[in-house]
Structure 1
Amino acid sequence: MDMTDFSSLDPAMQGFLQEAVENGTVYALQDDEGWALTESTEDPDVMVLPLWSSVEGADAAATGEWSIYSSTAIALDELLEDWLPGLQQDGLRVGVNWDAALDGVELPPLELQADLEAVIVAADESGLWDDDDESDGASP
């Protein structure tokens, strides 16, 4: 995926990718018994793990029957190395930045992994992270 492809993505997906990479964290909903899963709208035999790029987004979905859940942070590197491959192996899908009605983009975990990795590479190549290094006020 190049930056042209990125701009053609669903706005919720764009926001998820950008914010997840910038913050290095995503959020899922969890209770004492496990993670919040729901049926796929594309295949009712497949379950989806919704993920959000902000704690506010995750908390907004924790209403109604999902009020038993609370938002839990997942480090981006852990998501890429462990979670997404494991979810793919288990036959699950992921949802990204769903709204409070639990509507939004869902996709195979390895597709999300590839998109996140492409954004990380593009950000590194464009010098996106250089601004953070200069925020300490030191002269170059």
Structure 2
Amino acid sequence: MSLSGAHRAAFRREAPQEGRVFSIRDAGGYPVAKDKDGSRTLPFWSKSSRAQKVVGQVDAYRKFDVVEIELDDWLERWLPGLEREGYLIGVNWAGPRATGYDVPPEQVAGWFAETS
């Protein structure tokens, strides 16, 4: 399993255990990464410590604060809204370049439907 695959598996396991997910935000809002194809991705982590590590490692995110979002709210409100807007979900990005899997919100929602 690749490192990104391990981070994805950890997200699926840890978010229900935590009962929340985490993102980062500054005065301008949540960061949105845009790739060369124009896809927009909003990152989320399954543990505060994972998000905090990226804030500490990635210069572009140094002034961001880690914020928590209750899992039920994220699943019921955030994911449908992000899907409508055409965003992808960055799952447990890691490393000095904050990389990992970017997946459609409906796929992420399916992960949690499988565990119910």
- Tell me if TM exceeds 0.5: yes
Instruction: Please tell me the root mean square deviation across aligned C-alpha atoms, in Å.
Output: 1.5
5+ unaligned residues in a row in structure 2: which ranges? Answer: none
Taking the TM superposition and a 5 Å limit, the aligned residue runs for 1:105-120 are 105-119=101-115
Tell me the TM-score normalized by structure 1: 0.74
Q: For residues 58 and 86 of structure 1, what CA distance do their matches in structure 2 show?
A: 22
Shift, 1:115, TM fit: 0.6
Shift, 1:46, TM fit: 1.3
Question: Which gives a bigger RCO, structure 1 or 2 (Cα 8 Å, sep 6+)?
Answer: 2
For the pair 1:54 / 2:67, whether they are aligned, the reply is no
Q: For residues 61 and 6 of structure 2, what CA distance do their matches in structure 1 show?
A: 24
For the pair 1:67 / 2:62, whether they are aligned, the reply is yes
Query: Which of 79, 89, 95 does residue 90 from structure 2 map onto?
Result: 95
Q: Which residue of 1 aligns with 2:7?
A: 12
Q: Which residue of 2 aligns with 1:84?
A: 79
What amino acid does structure 1 have at the position aligned with 2:40? M
Q: For residues 22 and 104 of structure 1, what CA distance do their matches in structure 2 show?
A: 21
Q: Which residue of 1 aligns with 2:24?
A: 29
Matched positions, count: 110
Shift, 1:106, TM fit: 0.9
Describe the SS at the equivalent of 2:110: helix
5+ unaligned residues in a row in structure 1: which ranges? Answer: 1-8, 122-140
| Overall identity of the aligned pairs, in % | 27
Higher strand share: 2
Q: For residues 20 and 93 of structure 1, what CA distance do their matches in structure 2 show?
A: 17
What amino acid does structure 2 have at the position aligned with 1:113? A
